[in-house]
Amino acid sequence: MKHIIVFVFLILTSVTGFSQSIVLDLKTHLAEKAQLSPSKIGASYWLLKDGYTLLDVGEDYSVWLTDYNAVTTGESIAVSVTVKIEPTTALTEKTPLASERVHYTLSKSAPRVTDTDEPATKFLREKLERKTDQAIQEGRVGGKAVADAIGSLLGKLGR
């Protein structure tokens, strides 16, 4: 009986279009978790806003954020991150289906983040462990750049 219910559910979701959302699992290596956390959480916000589903299991693709690099020059911080779209995986990276190096710039002299009612900032303030202005700026700017790259890579894959 349980198998019949699951089968009927799968048929109904495919007929109704419920299963059209692409399911992603955003991943980072433990060694880079602290540096990539703001961009990962920010990307989560923008991806959810764009209609993607984010899960730790049952995903269509694993998305790895790796190779974090930040260089401070004067009043700006140039950041780069590699985004890799891979087939679903448990804990290890596989050969990517598509990848891109994402670059964005943060301002060290950006004004304090006070617009807590703005949805992206509110989301970041709730989710980030480090709630510094720089972490929120990185979540907004870097997260948007990473989410845009993920969308572009998925588009190249026909998704």
61-104 pLDDT, tens per residue?
A: 999 999 999 999 999 999 999 999 998 865 667 789 999 999 99
Is 127 a domain residue?
yes
Cα 102 from Cα 26, distance rounded (Å): 15
User: Cβ of 38: how many Cβ atoms within 10 Å?
Assistant: 27
**Whole-number pLDDT of residue 91:** 65
Is 56 a domain residue?
yes
Tokens of 19: 């299963």
Cα 110 from Cα 97, distance rounded (Å): 36
State pTM to two decimals.
Answer: 0.80
119-130 pLDDT, tens per residue?
A: 888 888 888 887
Is 7 a domain residue?
no
Is 11 a domain residue?
no
- Indicate the number of domains in the chain: 1
Give the chain's length. Answer: 159
Is 12 a domain residue?
no
Q: The dihedral of CA 107, 112, 117, 123: what is its sign?
A: positive
- Beta strands across the sheet bearing 61-73: 53-54, 23-28, 61-73, 76-87, 98-107
Range among 2-16, 65-79, 98-112 with highest mean pLDDT value: 65-79
- CATH number reported for the structural domain that contains residue 68 in this entry: 3.30.160
User: Cβ of 86: how many Cβ atoms within 10 Å?
Assistant: 19
Cα 59 from Cα 28, distance rounded (Å): 16
Contact between 63 and 44 (Cβ < 8 Å): no
Q: Which domain holds residue 130?
A: 21-156
- Which backbone phi and psi does 96 adopt, to 5 degrees? -70, 145
> How close are the terminal C-alpha atoms of the chain, in Å?
34
